Structure 1
């Protein structure tokens, strides 16, 4: 047989083919980068009337040839909708499309200089009727060309308008007040972009590039763009390249197509993303009938006609000829002739003398034959003569419309750095030895509750199919063959048949194969599978259980499904449920949707309490559009846990589905590696997060519910997928919650300790006790008489007067639930320490740098410690501090100085360094409000700790150092370089007076939700010579800061307080330099040489002789 070979670009890769048509694989992509329309600042009174087509349509002399449907989201007023509808009418009068165009419209807050934005939501390539191959078309245009809905019920165009713009909504008044923008004009403009008036040329660094969203594949708008010298950018300039960047910013680009008269495009020397190339040139077209699609719209401009932009859109395909033709099949007839027939549907008529059949015997030289009418409307035919030998023939059909545009079937392949290449249909003549091709995806299983199996297969053959049957058996008992039915003869190759079973049982086995025979003289046969049979196990449900748990580290047959398995991928520590990595896109599946399902065979009987599903998971699936929620059209891919009460016939989400946006770490990982539209990022164990679902949200007590995990995949984008581990369904491993307002000390005059506690658990409290010990002796316990439904209990430890100061009582509370889970107070399971104290004689001052052991303070959840990243000791709360576990689910964690202080009239100051990393309050929330959340506070008591008053309002992270806020946001640990000084006047708010004898405490308040690292307190000075600090602070001048050279200047005015030590440290506390300055009545100057240090942040600390300390941050830039 004589063959010729053609070459075609597919995704811009050179691929040899024997059938060039098959090279053009259909493609689709979601589009997310909108164009924008900017507001001009100066008024420009201008009115361009609607086109003649609209006037005829409005006057009822012309039938509407398209339908645009709009979803108006929140914010649109009735007058805004009326203006929008007026603009729709103009586009509907121009467009001819059999498929409705769906628009999703938003009334949003945009940048002040932006009036609106728009983009087509999807783009498609290599679909039937496309004139340019390996080129994307906006979805609405692709649907017009194919005559088919490609996008389901999803929107085709996304538009948004600035709700802060000064709009005029009157569509018919030809003049506007000064400063007002015509909404009709901007709506027309944005819909124009959505219809296809938007390109993909962009700038990345020093290079220019073309290709929709990094694919390298252009959009149809890009194809005719050329420079002043008529050099087509795609054919002449490499992408990416510096030369292409120069062209994109040359201010001299044009759109060259059949009827658009080479209009100049907006290509400014400074590239503007979303604006450059995708608009007409502002200078050329402003104040002309074609001004609508310029990059800016000014106040008082009313432009109600697309002008030349409509011709450009028509040349892209909005005015076209659809050539309907069924490709010739191969034939064993070598003599010919071979009749080629086509019908034509034209928006603007066809020139019948241009209807040509163009055929080739060698793939290079073509012979053109005029096609003649068949007698049927718009149908033409011609024949290719035979040669009498077995060989290949190639052909295409061409025609011109009445505007002079050429249309071909198949289309032309657009190639980078090469001319366009005409694609061709190919058929072969001669003896046929090729069996049919069968494409079929078998189901992974069949439920015992199912009574039928619907089979679908794509069966093709170069000659044609004579027969297609299903041979099958049930439990190895052969059943009668079933004939597969071709669904749309001469339109597709989809065959279907439903096998009816009656009843099936768990463990039954269905075996089947598909047998196809072609129309050749040899009756070539193909089977699927090639050998043997597809095996379909019938799966039934196991007996119902009250609970289920699985860590998947042992073999298990408890699940069945498709697209999931229990495996241990590289990088994971053990086995878990994993979807396919990556999971498949929905392209090519029924309705372009794919559902991967993993179902638990064991139904669960829903409990009245603790009806939870708990599991660890990683979700790296395509995120929906920002702001969308489960159920929205643009929610894209998602995962969901579902339940069924009828054995799997109908399903209900246990909770709303979710995607990678459900956790910031997932979203960051998903977006960290994007190729085309897909994420190539890979999951790892660090991404596991725990999810808890409640079956009681959707089901009732005693319902028997089947559980399944489902991953939904739509077309054009996918990611790594979903993994599920440590599954627990109605497993009660949650310990009881024990609440208590703990006691920090006992006065040596007190005889009893009253302990009040609350204990609760979903399964009920079985036992509750107090365990205690004295001076670390033997542990004793006291049991409460648990009496449901009571939850609060009280016990009094008496006879404590025998304890003297220095003795320590310790206690904890232990609760056990009905399944023997234990809960404690404190939650750590440690003991609360209650020292017996005597406040002693009041002092005038107190100072402590906490670098030596001290018994001056009492309290739990605080200690004097030196955590990692700190250079010496300080008071530290627990890191991280517990959420509130007091009786009202809040807690006060206190550290109290046991030495009373007599407040001085002359120097009533408390000074200390601190780090505060606790949950912050909202804007405008005052201290004392329930919404103030966590805080720290310094308080005093004048009556031996019976009642407390504040020295100042409580405070939190708000207003603190940026490093504190960063540590809270990231959950990281602070370091020694983050201390900040605080000075408190004990008499400032009037709660205390000079002469008062006060006990001082530091208290951290926590509610039950979000916690933080906590509080650190160092270098505490109470009524010490703290005024020297103020003197030291006000007399310091450190410059320059930032340090731009290598020398840091330190000046001190009138240093009369004594020797001062200057320390230079890293922010982590590492000592770098130390110098001492002697006292002087003159200005003291000193320079630190920083030349040996790298750029970064450093700490300068000035230490006075009496403990005064001032800390400054400096930045070194080089």
Structure 2
């Protein structure tokens, strides 16, 4: 027998992708159920469903692909596991592979295994229910694309390798003293696919993820025998004792429209809600006594006896999954735009369904008074157009609201938008007074050697865009106009090509979008009577060597983003990105901040670049590498043979994880999505690399060098500082900063009793002297340490020191000295 229990741990994490969206930054993790065994024996067998058993005799095909990463499995449990996987592949549909990480490992005595979704997301683009958390595998199915990257599992499972009572057969003939492994795997994958949620008990109160904004999608359907929804706060406050009483009332059900559609006389699936609430078993299982041994719906009951084999998830579980979204019908439709004339408006919709639909049920519900009254217009299938169509003849209302609907063959209804009629589309008939929406990333500079630049803007309008243009003026000369061409998907762009301009010239310009309405409404960027400015920058003659300590404001770099100056907590000048650097607050957008060196570099046999830097930018997910979808913000040094295009990495992009001090300070100073950590001179470390090491460039090439900070949506930090830049300067060919103050951390500071020291260096430390000096310069302590590695971990007892300021000196074997100040209180 097995029992599932759960210990509550909640972790909010962030995810993204190359086209990052806000909801991907707000995933939450929830611990998986744990599966226990017992000594009870009830021999029975429920065979696999027909969808699997008849797969070879019919056209039945797999509906999904579940890819398992087997860790530590031998042949027998792996084969049984794969048998369970293939059953699920014939039952749940997804166009996206479902990745499952399964580990065969020693677990606590009595534990059989566990499985759960890796992460949950809410308010993703195609979410049928808003403000509900969905398991990631279901999110990817509904979105139709990978969300967390193929390297990140959608489910995580583990099974006990120390259990000596497993039966690995697939025939259901489980011996009386053994647990049927196929059944356990089927059950656990069910949890991983979403048969779980957020209800739990805390301090005698019932809650559903009280520290989270929303409940899970499973929780949406949990009702009591009176039909009251447990997450309805007008009925049961969250948290509350009243909610806790419901959670252990033995009177809870899953409100399944699918069950009622198939047979209205059937009762809703009854959930397990014993009087003694059991985290992990209560609510997220079917009732043990309603669906007992041998019942076709008994797989997801909380107890699994020895010799009990259930190879079918059962119709009730599949109905529950259908209601959650695993069996889904999507309505694809482009919303009706506003119009100035009341003509015949064509309505079109395409239906994508996991099961057969009722083609006579496709309809548009339309209202002119926010659905106080409404009319229904049937859409009929057009074989020629391969979608459903209708003609709308509007009457005399100025504004209409509408939504679309369709039934599947079981009678379940699907809507677009998903929460209709609470959500709906809207369009207006009449004179257009709405200005276009216009966005543009300003062009800040052009090279005198290449006076061609692409100008782009995004423009949308409720009626439609007539034109997007760029009026400009060179210096104080005659005006010109560039027409931005429609590229589709609201993008307009063209190339501005000029001649005869030199370093110091400038171009003032605006972007103007005009709509196609009778009033020709327009939007101007930046605003009326203001302009963007493009500066013409000349390039210097190529050099083999370049150095800059940034203690004077040179014009050696082309940038409207970076600047040379002295910041607070820095001793001298440096090349700085914006502090803090901004991040876009819009899906699918990004910012790039660049500084281009005006001196092209002729690569010789040295090819070395060296600089000191501080990098406080958003760190990626643990284990993510440059180029991965969850590698967020980064800094990078790039090269180009033209200086205008085809930029290639000189080194891979990196973030605050490149240094322990940077990462610790970034993470320890987070405010919301952002970090308030401030850069300082003591955080400097040296970076040195060869321009030819990644194969993009070779000795003899002449290339331009630029520094770039990439910022994706919704999170940012302090930014980047660069100092003491040396390119192919003789010291960069030989010298190397082995030990850096940025690699030595002391904490806590101020300190009361124990001072902890951590260091991580580029080479072995060898002999190290740690000396403490008081404020008068007197040495009051000296420790000599012989370190055979590049790591330093030391604890110093300072409890007997008097209160005041002290200096801690690190004296390395190579003569280098680093000092740190600390305060004893």
TM-score (norm 2): 0.73
Residue 523, structure 1, aligned to residue 524, structure 2: no
SS at match of 1:53: helix
**Which residue in 2 is equivalent to 1:1062?**
none
- How far the C-alpha of 1:74 sits from its partner, in A, is 6.2
What are the within-5 Å matches in structure 2 for residues 441-520 of structure 1?
A: 441-446=441-446, 453-470=453-470, 481-487=482-488, 492-497=489-494, 513-520=510-517
Q: Is the 8 A contact 2:474 2:506 kept in 1?
A: yes
- How far the C-alpha of 1:229 sits from its partner, in A, is 4.0
**Which residue in 2 is equivalent to 1:332?**
340
**Which residue in 2 is equivalent to 1:856?**
none
Q: Is the 8 A contact 1:469 1:514 kept in 2?
A: yes
Label 1:486 to 1:162 Cα distance change in 2 as closer, same or farther (>3 A). same
Q: Is the 8 A contact 1:102 1:154 kept in 2?
A: no
Q: After alignment, is 138-147 or 570-579 more displaced? A: 570-579
**Which residue in 2 is equivalent to 1:55?**
53
- How far the C-alpha of 1:169 sits from its partner, in A, is 9.1
Label 1:654 to 1:315 Cα distance change in 2 as closer, same or farther (>3 A). same
Q: Is the 8 A contact 1:102 1:155 kept in 2?
A: no
CA RMSD of aligned residues (A): 5.2
After superposition, the C-alpha distances for 1:56-107 in whole angstroms (9 at most, x for unaligned) are: 334452133434455x37656666665554444333322334x322426353
The whole-number CA distance in structure 2 between the counterparts of 1:445 and 1:273 is 61
**Which residue in 1 is equivalent to 2:322?**
314
The whole-number CA distance in structure 2 between the counterparts of 1:607 and 1:973 is 52
The whole-number CA distance in structure 2 between the counterparts of 1:533 and 1:126 is 37
**Which residue in 2 is equivalent to 1:422?**
422
Q: Is the 8 A contact 2:547 2:729 kept in 1?
A: no
**Which residue in 2 is equivalent to 1:433?**
433
State which of 372, 390, 395 in structure 2 corresponds to 1:386.
395
SS at match of 1:318: coil
Q: Is the 8 A contact 1:516 1:527 kept in 2?
A: yes
Q: Is the 8 A contact 2:201 2:207 kept in 1?
A: yes
Label 1:721 to 1:672 Cα distance change in 2 as closer, same or farther (>3 A). closer
After superposition, the C-alpha distances for 1:441-463 in whole angstroms (9 at most, x for unaligned) are: 33444567778644543322222
The structure having more radius of gyration, on CA atoms, is 1
Residue 401, structure 1, aligned to residue 396, structure 2: no
**Which residue in 1 is equivalent to 2:687?**
692
Residue 263, structure 1, aligned to residue 263, structure 2: no
After superposition, the C-alpha distances for 1:1041-1094 in whole angstroms (9 at most, x for unaligned) are: xxxxxxxxxxxxxxxxxxxxxxxxxxx9x9xxxxxxxxxxxxxxxxxxxxxxxx
- How far the C-alpha of 1:244 sits from its partner, in A, is 7.3
Residue 305, structure 1, aligned to residue 301, structure 2: no
**Count of aligned pairs between the two proteins:** 739
- How far the C-alpha of 1:386 sits from its partner, in A, is 0.9
- How far the C-alpha of 1:245 sits from its partner, in A, is 6.4
State which of 622, 625, 631 in structure 2 corresponds to 1:630.
625
- How far the C-alpha of 1:53 sits from its partner, in A, is 1.7
State which of 614, 631, 634 in structure 2 corresponds to 1:639.
634
Label 1:60 to 1:262 Cα distance change in 2 as closer, same or farther (>3 A). same
What are the within-5 Å matches in structure 2 for residues 514-663 of structure 1?
A: 514-531=511-528, 533-537=531-535, 539=537, 541-542=539-540, 543-544=542-543, 546-551=545-550, 554-560=552-558, 577-579=576-578, 581=580, 583-584=582-583, 588-589=587-588, 595-603=592-600, 611=608, 613-625=610-622, 628-631=623-626, 633=628, 635-644=630-639, 646-647=641-642, 649-654=646-651, 657-660=654-657, 662-663=659-660
Residue 683, structure 1, aligned to residue 678, structure 2: yes
The whole-number CA distance in structure 1 between the counterparts of 2:217 and 2:434 is 38
Label 1:1008 to 1:165 Cα distance change in 2 as closer, same or farther (>3 A). farther
The whole-number CA distance in structure 2 between the counterparts of 1:202 and 1:449 is 66
The whole-number CA distance in structure 2 between the counterparts of 1:881 and 1:406 is 61
SS at match of 2:325: helix
- How far the C-alpha of 1:563 sits from its partner, in A, is 6.4
Residue 667, structure 1, aligned to residue 674, structure 2: no
The whole-number CA distance in structure 1 between the counterparts of 2:242 and 2:577 is 44
The whole-number CA distance in structure 2 between the counterparts of 1:680 and 1:707 is 29
After superposition, the C-alpha distances for 1:768-799 in whole angstroms (9 at most, x for unaligned) are: xxxxxxxxxxxxxxxxxxxxxxxxxxxxxxxx
SS at match of 2:258: coil
Q: Is the 8 A contact 2:115 2:189 kept in 1?
A: no
The whole-number CA distance in structure 2 between the counterparts of 1:38 and 1:1009 is 56
Q: Is the 8 A contact 2:32 2:115 kept in 1?
A: yes
**Which residue in 1 is equivalent to 2:367?**
360
Q: After alignment, is 52-61 or 506-515 more displaced? A: 506-515
**Which residue in 2 is equivalent to 1:141?**
138
After superposition, the C-alpha distances for 1:495-516 in whole angstroms (9 at most, x for unaligned) are: 4545567999766756654443
Label 1:869 to 1:304 Cα distance change in 2 as closer, same or farther (>3 A). closer
Q: After alignment, is 171-180 or 302-311 more displaced? A: 171-180
Q: Is the 8 A contact 1:341 1:379 kept in 2?
A: yes
Q: Is the 8 A contact 1:185 1:302 kept in 2?
A: yes
- How far the C-alpha of 1:698 sits from its partner, in A, is 1.8
Q: Is the 8 A contact 1:971 1:1012 kept in 2?
A: no
Residue 222, structure 1, aligned to residue 219, structure 2: yes
Comparing both chains, which one has the higher relative contact order based on Cα–Cα distances under 8 Å and sequence gaps of 6 or more?
A: 2
**Which residue in 1 is equivalent to 2:36?**
40
- How far the C-alpha of 1:365 sits from its partner, in A, is 0.1
Residue 369, structure 1, aligned to residue 376, structure 2: yes
The whole-number CA distance in structure 1 between the counterparts of 2:554 and 2:281 is 57
Label 1:110 to 1:1011 Cα distance change in 2 as closer, same or farther (>3 A). farther
**Which residue in 1 is equivalent to 2:723?**
726
Label 1:236 to 1:514 Cα distance change in 2 as closer, same or farther (>3 A). same
Q: After alignment, is 145-154 or 227-236 more displaced? A: 145-154
Q: Is the 8 A contact 2:611 2:688 kept in 1?
A: yes
State which of 229, 233, 238 in structure 2 corresponds to 1:232.
229
Label 1:892 to 1:396 Cα distance change in 2 as closer, same or farther (>3 A). closer
The whole-number CA distance in structure 2 between the counterparts of 1:228 and 1:975 is 64
**Which residue in 2 is equivalent to 1:115?**
113
- How far the C-alpha of 1:216 sits from its partner, in A, is 0.9
Q: Is the 8 A contact 1:356 1:397 kept in 2?
A: yes
After superposition, the C-alpha distances for 1:591-620 in whole angstroms (9 at most, x for unaligned) are: xx6555444444556686794523241425
Q: Which runs of 5+ in 1 are unaligned?
A: 1-24, 414-420, 736-760, 765-820, 824-867, 871-878, 894-914, 922-929, 935-967, 978-1004, 1014-1067, 1071-1118
Label 1:559 to 1:181 Cα distance change in 2 as closer, same or farther (>3 A). farther
- How far the C-alpha of 1:316 sits from its partner, in A, is 1.7
- How far the C-alpha of 1:624 sits from its partner, in A, is 0.9
SS at match of 1:327: coil
Label 1:352 to 1:583 Cα distance change in 2 as closer, same or farther (>3 A). same
Q: Which runs of 5+ in 2 are unaligned?
A: 1-20, 260-266, 740-750, 771-780, 802-810
Q: Is the 8 A contact 1:348 1:403 kept in 2?
A: no
Q: Is the 8 A contact 2:465 2:516 kept in 1?
A: yes
SS at match of 2:723: strand
Label 1:512 to 1:111 Cα distance change in 2 as closer, same or farther (>3 A). farther
Label 1:426 to 1:601 Cα distance change in 2 as closer, same or farther (>3 A). same
Q: Is the 8 A contact 2:474 2:508 kept in 1?
A: yes
Label 1:537 to 1:37 Cα distance change in 2 as closer, same or farther (>3 A). same
Q: Is the 8 A contact 1:126 1:134 kept in 2?
A: no
The whole-number CA distance in structure 2 between the counterparts of 1:179 and 1:600 is 75
State which of 90, 96, 99 in structure 2 corresponds to 1:103.
99
